[in-house]
Amino acid sequence: MSSQLKWKFAFILAVLLVCIFGVIGVPTFPTSLAQVKDNLAKRIQLGLDLKGGSHLVLQVQLQEAIGQRCDEAVDDLTKQLRAKNVAVGEIRRVDDTHILVRDVDSNASGPFRDLVSNQFPEWSMAPAAGETNGYLLEMKPSVVADLRQAAMNQTLETITRRINALGLTEPTIAFTGRSDDEILVQLPGVGDPTGAKAVIQAGGQLQLVRVADGPYPSEAEALAQHGGVLPAGTTIVPGKNESVAAGQPAGQVFYVLDRSPVVTGQDLRSADANPSTEYPGQYEVDFKLSTAAAARFGPFTESQAAIGGRMAVVLDKQVYEAATIQSRIEDSGRITGGFSQESAQNLALVLRAGALPASIKYLEERTVGPSLGADSIRDGVRASIGSMIVVMIFLVFYYRLSGVNAVVALILNLVILVAFLAYAGAVLTLPGIAGVILTIGMGVDSNVLVFERIREELRGGKVPAPAVDSGFDRAFLTIIDTHVTTVVSAVFLFLFGSGPVRGFAITLIIGLIANVFTSIYVSRAIFDFHLSRMDRQAHLSI
């Protein structure tokens, strides 16, 4: 054997060892067959379609977060204008990003403009069309973009905290990358995602607010009590009528509440579900406030208790409880409302994990039950092994000793492919298994191309060594052309495809690159080794 050939084999052996080590040698070096199996299971990650689980795509309603910022600006502007005694006719939110200010006092237009440009840097101002002293404020596009990004990040973090709190193993929570308002959640092993979905979707916006008056049976009646115009800084919030005196009809009631809450969910130190002492069989959520919030809450409740004031617990813009404050409350509170143990636990979890900046909608849900996953693995692996065996038997039968060479190349091809999946942490999906099977097909094609070419050269009267030489040389270009073409299409599949299809494309791309190596480099080395040991004129077994 020439020294060049020795180096070739050393290189091939090194690749083989690295690959085998990558598949079964880590994380702990195996000393028994069970450990080999265990390593294999840890290294080759299975996709949801193979191990079962839930796949959710949800859309964050970003315009809500933007609209909320707009509402805050309207409130803030109203307050500041009043403080500066600038009279305006009306301040109105036009849409999520526009505020219309009408009939600004013509003497005060200077101070008005100064106020907006100094205190509201997030907004750009222009005279409103069709208004004499009107201005249209528009949220700057850069601010909108920042808001969207911040809301997406916050949503992702919040969902991650909630899912971790649920104790689900190895979840995937990520942006889909398909659209800037979508988030992908994958929950392996979750056969029924209903519970997890509810926890993810819960708004979790808790507010403790002073009750101005109410409850009223309808929104119109609440308004009528105030002569059609609500007192400044208040708003109408619906609630269930549980705390209403007996004799009233069941259904929705409406409270007039302060706009700005005393305490919000961000002020919570802890939240826990406990059996209710008041309503046996029901559960309630008890919470504790942070020190800073308690410093606000204590004096507030004390002053309210003195005048018999009431306070409402508002969760996701719904009043859960409105009660008279009996005495000073330091740092604890509770939410009741006919919770079951599970729903109370979920609410406590959601409160601890924090609120979502905007509501979310589900766009897609896929669930693979564990039995289907098990079937798919079994069928996929059986089909792969079955087709491998059929192909290999044929190759050895048709090409004799050279067929054995091809079989070695094919097996090495598979080992490299699997090792790459392990090293890259890629996930094996069902279409991925299909990609593996197709790689086998392409590997066979490369070998057949080379062998047929060598046969042609032998028929042309060449002796084995030069025949093998030119066989490989001539087939080389064809193999490159066919592989590059398929890789090109697989790359597009990867770039523009989604989820499972990408898994397919990745295995195909890696498989084809490995195939060029095995069917040209490795196969050639084996041929050369064989030729170096046989007589120049001897018959080549092909």
Partner 1 sequence: MELFHGVNVDWMGKAKYFVALSLLLLAVGWISVYRTVVVKHGTLYGIDFRTGTLVTVRFAGKPPIDQIRKGLQQAGLPNSTIQGISDTRSIASQNDVVIGLEQTQGDESLDAGKQKILDVLHATFGTDTSGKPDFNSVTQPALAADLTRKDPLVLGTNAGDRYNQLATKLTSARDTDHGGIVTSFDQLKNVEGVTPAVVSSLAGDYSLGTFAIRDADIVGPKVGKQYQRQALLATLYALGGMLVYIALRFEWVYGAAAVIAVFHDVLITLGFFSLFHYEISLTVIAALLTLVGYSMNDTIVIFDRVRENLRLMRRESFPDIVNKSINQTLSRTILTSGLTFLTVLVLYLMGGEVLRAFSFAMVVGVVVGTYSSFGIAAPIVVLWNKYGGGQAATVRGRSAARTA
- Least Å distance, CB 36 to partner 1, is 17
Give the three-class secondary structure for 369.
coil
Please list every residue from 151 through 180 that binds partner 1, using CB under 8 A: 169, 178-179
| Alpha-carbon gap, residue 267 to 292, rounded angstroms | 8
Q: By C-beta, is 211 or 368 nearer to partner 1?
A: 368
By rule CB under 8 A, what count of residues binds partner 1? 81
Cα torsion through 148, 151, 156, 160, rounded to 10: 180
Q: Which whole-number Å values give the CA distances from 300 to 28, 210, 215, 383, 392, in the listed order?
A: 60, 10, 22, 71, 82
Measured distance between the N- and C-terminal CA atoms of the chain, rounded to whole angstroms: 21
- Least Å distance, CB 1 to partner 1, is 30
Q: By C-beta, is 298 or 497 nearer to partner 1?
A: 497
Q: By C-beta, is 301 or 515 nearer to partner 1?
A: 515
| Alpha-carbon gap, residue 93 to 78, rounded angstroms | 12
Q: Which of 284, 278, 277, 286 is nearest to 343 (CA)?
A: 284
Cα-based angle 134, 136, 138 (whole degrees, multiple of 5):
165
Binding mask 427-456 for partner 1 (x = CB under 8 A): ---xx-xx--xx-xxx-xx--xx--x--xx
Q: By C-beta, is 227 or 461 nearer to partner 1?
A: 461
Segment interacting with partner 1, rule: CB under 8 A, options 84-92, 133-141, 186-194, 237-245: 186-194
In the block, which residue shows the tokens 């059929």? Answer: 390
| Alpha-carbon gap, residue 342 to 195, rounded angstroms | 9
- Least Å distance, CB 443 to partner 1, is 10
Please list every residue from 507 through 536 that binds partner 1, using CB under 8 A: 508
Please list every residue from 265 through 294 that binds partner 1, using CB under 8 A: none
Residue 59 in contact with partner 1, rule: CB under 8 A: yes
Q: Alpha-carbon torsion 145, 149, 150, 152, what sign? A: positive
- Least Å distance, CB 452 to partner 1, is 4
Please list every residue from 461 through 490 that binds partner 1, using CB under 8 A: 474, 477-478, 481-482, 484-486, 488-490
Please list every residue from 396 through 415 that binds partner 1, using CB under 8 A: 397-398
| Alpha-carbon gap, residue 310 to 469, rounded angstroms | 94
- Least Å distance, CB 302 to partner 1, is 45
| Alpha-carbon gap, residue 345 to 274, rounded angstroms | 8
Binding mask 353-392 for partner 1 (x = CB under 8 A): --------xxxxxxxxxxxxxxxx-xxx-xx--xx--xx-
Q: What are phi and psi of 134, to 5 degrees?
A: -105, 150
> What would you measure as the largest C-alpha separation in the chain, in angstroms?
113
User: In this structure, what token pair is assigned to residue 455?
Assistant: 């046969």
- Least Å distance, CB 460 to partner 1, is 12
Q: By C-beta, is 262 or 437 nearer to partner 1?
A: 437
Segment interacting with partner 1, rule: CB under 8 A, options 74-82, 83-91, 132-140, 190-198: 190-198
The one-letter amino acid code at 98 reads: H
Judged by CB under 8 A, the residue of 15, 19, 57, 206 near partner 1 is: 57
Q: Do 398 and 448 touch, CB atoms closer than 8 A? A: no
Segment interacting with partner 1, rule: CB under 8 A, options 231-239, 263-271, 293-301, 394-402: 394-402
Please list every residue from 81 through 110 that binds partner 1, using CB under 8 A: none
| Alpha-carbon gap, residue 299 to 195, rounded angstroms | 39
Please list every residue from 492 through 511 that binds partner 1, using CB under 8 A: 492-493, 495-501, 504-505, 508
Q: By C-beta, is 8 or 162 nearer to partner 1?
A: 162
